[in-house]
Amino acid sequence: MWLYNKKLQYPVDIKRKNLKMAKYLMSQYGGPDSEMSAAIRYLNQRYTMPDDKGKALLTDIGTEELAHLEIIASMINSLMKDATIDEIKEAGLGGFFAEHDNGLFPLNPEGVPFTTAYIETTGDFIADLESNMAAEQRARAVYEHLIDLTDDIDIIKPLSFLRQREVVHYQRFKELRNYYLNNKIQKKP
């Protein structure tokens, strides 16, 4: 079970509307390496980890990714707040508005909807952990691209926090992968 804390893991205090950044941030809401992909992937994979240590790590990180999804949702919502129709059209979000108004919906910035194909799970814990290490590196790279797209410090600060967490997740997955390999813990004896 989960206990909900009514606060964000990192504060979001965006003062300036920015529709284009809202659109770009959708990469981390509904894109292939989004927080949504990560959260669902890890919370699924925990069942096929070989021991409690692995199950605990996947649960921890999967839970944290849900908190990150909430930060991204809050940022997109703040960036789109009080947008006019002209501003929405100018940012290339007219099609989004037609179907979703200013509601959140998991798409990437090009409008490609979220798909479960992003949730890689093989049931082979070494393959899954190595896939997760790569996913964390891709998510880190996307955060760096997003930071490059703005000079608003109120956007950069939470993105920098999220980028740093991807680095930590990469390291924790790598440590677990190495622990299993070094101790010859295998799926099939």
Measured at the CA of 118, the angle between CA 146 and CA 42, to 5 degrees, comes to 90
Contact pick of 169, 172, 173, 176 for Fe ion (by CB under 5 A): 169
Cα(157)–Cα(31) distance, integer angstroms: 21
Q: How far is the CB of 22 from Fe ion (least distance, A)?
A: 21
Residues 6+ apart with CB under 8 A from 19: 79, 80, 83, 87, 88, 90, 91, 93
Q: How far is the CB of 73 from Fe ion (least distance, A)?
A: 16
Q: How far is the CB of 90 from Fe ion (least distance, A)?
A: 32
Q: How far is the CB of 153 from Fe ion (least distance, A)?
A: 23
Residue number, 70 or 166, with CB nearest to Fe ion: 166
Q: How far is the CB of 92 from Fe ion (least distance, A)?
A: 28
Residue number, 130 or 152, with CB nearest to Fe ion: 130
Q: Is 128 in the site for Fe ion (CB under 5 A)?
A: no
Instruction: Single out the residue of 78, 42, 48 nearest to residue 60, CA to CA.
Output: 42
Cα(67)–Cα(83) distance, integer angstroms: 26
CA dihedral sign of residues 174, 175, 176, 182 = positive
Residue at shortest CB range from Fe ion: 169
Residue number, 24 or 173, with CB nearest to Fe ion: 173
DSSP 165: H
Quick one: which segment of 15-23, 45-53, 147-155, 161-169 binds Fe ion (CB under 5 A)?
Answer: 161-169
Q: Is 166 in the site for Fe ion (CB under 5 A)?
A: yes
> Which run of H or E residues covers position 127?
helix 125-148
- The tokens for 89 are 């059209």
Quick one: which segment of 124-132, 146-154, 164-172, 176-184 binds Fe ion (CB under 5 A)?
Answer: 164-172
| Residue ranges binding Fe ion (CB under 5 A) | 166, 169
